[in-house]
């Protein structure tokens, strides 16, 4: 081997190959004698290297990472998540990012749901996807060194979940009007907030959303969470024209088909797929006209995340006059019904895991007398209700990322034994 090294060193143009050979030596030293004998002929290998035309050796990085037959699926990493939502701005703001890391270390939190594409259609990091670049969705990135942030999450053993807002996407829908939900007059349809939506019936929008997820997976995310994975719920919906697709497929079938397609496309990337659903989905029998039907979705994705915010329930739900005042009952009744319905579903397919979104914000917009301040006790009650319903995972939502960390220092007494 020393003779070989001397030959290489004599040629200045071939020095780079020394690195490759040295790496090979260390790799070979880790193999057993049996492995070496069965995998190669040592006497021949040295001759081959010595006689190799080094200018023909590919030295481009891409050549070593392209393997069309490879799959990361066997290396999928699942975590029973107890997490928080983190915006791109929080991730990119140095002092706040460090604060979140420190608070997470001193809490029961083990997962972050990080914005990749947010409610407005803007990206957290610079993307290499053609359509994203064309639509200028990454024109103003929120995190300059995104990979460094992901590395820090890994170093702190935080399970990273990519939040991808799906069909609500005003930038993509207005930049690519053919993809948008349209009116009978062929105009871009808009909801009450003047937001445009991608058409869930249009398979081109599926590929766009899956491409975003694939890129996120390559950045280190272990799970892709689709939010707004539904049809619009407000605005002049009678003006919408879904065309022939809307007559051939129900909304519930379209949403489930998209999630199933995304899961299959993402399988080689070794990530799980989750979907945010309305908190009412487990307690109503239909899809409410938005395409979210519990049993239909239960086999189309890996994790279902009911947004069970007590403030979002109508007065009298579950016999509770003021839902925001009784977070335990609202969460428990929602999740126990979800558990019972999924358990009762007869299927040979794998059923989705349940992981609710819990409320960590004060709904002052409800008006005096209809809401309460959500502090430590209200957060703990929701977590306890989740565990009492037989669900081991949960996420906390606060749009401004102002969390009640004092409620998260330790697990409540009713926490499942294996996560104590």
In whole angstroms, give the CA distance from residue 59 to residue 68.
19
Of 220, 219, 326, 305, the residue nearest 259 (C-alpha): 305
Q: What is the pTM of this model?
A: 0.83
Per-residue tens of pLDDT for the chain, all 420 residues: 433 334 333 344 433 333 333 444 333 334 333 332 233 333 323 333 333 333 333 323 333 233 344 676 767 878 899 999 999 999 999 999 999 999 999 999 999 999 999 999 999 999 999 999 999 999 999 999 999 999 999 999 999 999 999 999 999 999 999 999 999 999 999 999 999 999 999 999 999 999 999 999 999 999 999 999 999 999 999 999 998 888 899 999 999 999 999 999 999 999 999 999 999 999 999 999 999 999 999 999 999 999 999 999 999 999 999 999 999 999 999 999 999 999 999 999 999 999 999 999 999 999 999 999 999 999 999 999 999 999 999 999 999 999 999 999 999 999 988 664
- Predicted confidence at residue 369, as pLDDT, reads 97
DSSP secondary structure string for all residues of 339-361: HHHHHH---SSPPPEE--EEE-S
- Predicted confidence at residue 198, as pLDDT, reads 98
- Alpha helices (runs of H) in 30-145, residue ranges in sequence order: 33-39, 42-50, 61-65, 88-92, 94-105, 130-134
In whole angstroms, give the CA distance from residue 202 to residue 216.
22
- Predicted confidence at residue 291, as pLDDT, reads 98
- Predicted confidence at residue 78, as pLDDT, reads 84
- Predicted confidence at residue 70, as pLDDT, reads 63
Of 322, 319, 304, the residue nearest 366 (C-alpha): 322
In whole angstroms, give the CA distance from residue 352 to residue 325.
30
- Predicted confidence at residue 74, as pLDDT, reads 67
Q: What's the CA dihedral at 281, 286, 292, 296 to 10 degrees?
A: 100
For 254, the token pair is 């379209």
Domains and CATH numbers, the chain: 2-65 (no CATH), 79-419 (3.20.20.80)
Of 115, 165, 167, the residue nearest 142 (C-alpha): 115
In whole angstroms, give the CA distance from residue 194 to residue 197.
10
Q: Is the dihedral of CA 242, 243, 245, 250 positive or negative?
A: positive
């Amino acid at each position: 081997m020393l003779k070989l090294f001397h030959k290489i060193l004599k040629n200045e143009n071939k020095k780079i190959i020394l690195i490759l050979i040295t790496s090979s030596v260390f790799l070979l030293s880790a193999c057993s004698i049996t492995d070496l004998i069965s995998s190669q002929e040592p006497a021949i290998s040295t001759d081959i290297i010595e006689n190799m035309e080094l200018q023909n050796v590919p030295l481009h990085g891409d050549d070593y990472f392209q393997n069309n037959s490879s799959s990361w699926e066997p290396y999928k990493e699942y975590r029973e998540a107890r997490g928080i939502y983190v915006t791109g701005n929080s991730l990119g703001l140095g002092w706040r990012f460090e604060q979140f890391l420190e608070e997470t270390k001193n809490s029961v939190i083990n997962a972050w749901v990080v914005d990749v594409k947010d409610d407005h259609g803007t990206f957290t990091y610079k993307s290499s996807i053609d359509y994203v670049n064309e639509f200028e969705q990454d024109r103003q990135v929120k995190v300059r060194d995104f990979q460094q942030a992901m590395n820090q999450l890994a170093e702190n053993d935080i399970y990273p979940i990519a939040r991808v807002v799906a069909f609500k996407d005003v930038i993509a829908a207005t930049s690519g009007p053919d993809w948008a939900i349209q009116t009978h007059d062929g105009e871009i349809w808009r909801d009450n907030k003047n937001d445009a939506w991608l058409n869930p019936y249009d398979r081109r929008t599926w590929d766009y959303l899956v491409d975003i997820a694939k890129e996120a997976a390559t950045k280190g995310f272990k799970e892709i969470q689709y939010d707004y994975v539904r049809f619009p719920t407000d605005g002049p919906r009678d003006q919408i024209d879904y065309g022939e697709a809307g007559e051939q497929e129900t909304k519930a079938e379209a949403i489930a088909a998209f999630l199933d397609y995304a899961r299959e496309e993402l399988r080689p990337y070794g990530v799980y797929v989750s979907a945010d659903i309305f908190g009412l989905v487990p307690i109503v029998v239909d899809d409410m006209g938005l395409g979210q039907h519990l049993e239909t979705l239960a086999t189309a994705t890996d994790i279902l995340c009911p947004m069970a915010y007590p403030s979002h329930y109508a007065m009298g739900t579950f016999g509770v006059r003021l839902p925001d005042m009784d977070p335990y009952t609202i969460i428990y009744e929602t999740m126990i019904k979800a558990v019972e319905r999924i358990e009762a579903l007869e299927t040979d397919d794998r059923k989705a895991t349940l992981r609710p979104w819990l409320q960590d914000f004060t709904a002052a917009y409800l008006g005096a007398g209809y809401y309460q301040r959500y502090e430590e006790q209200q957060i703990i009650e929701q977590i306890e209700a989740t565990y009492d319903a037989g669900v081991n995972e949960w996420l906390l939502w606060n749009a401004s990322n102002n969390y009640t960390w004092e409620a998260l220092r330790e697990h409540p007494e009713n926490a499942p034994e294996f996560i104590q």
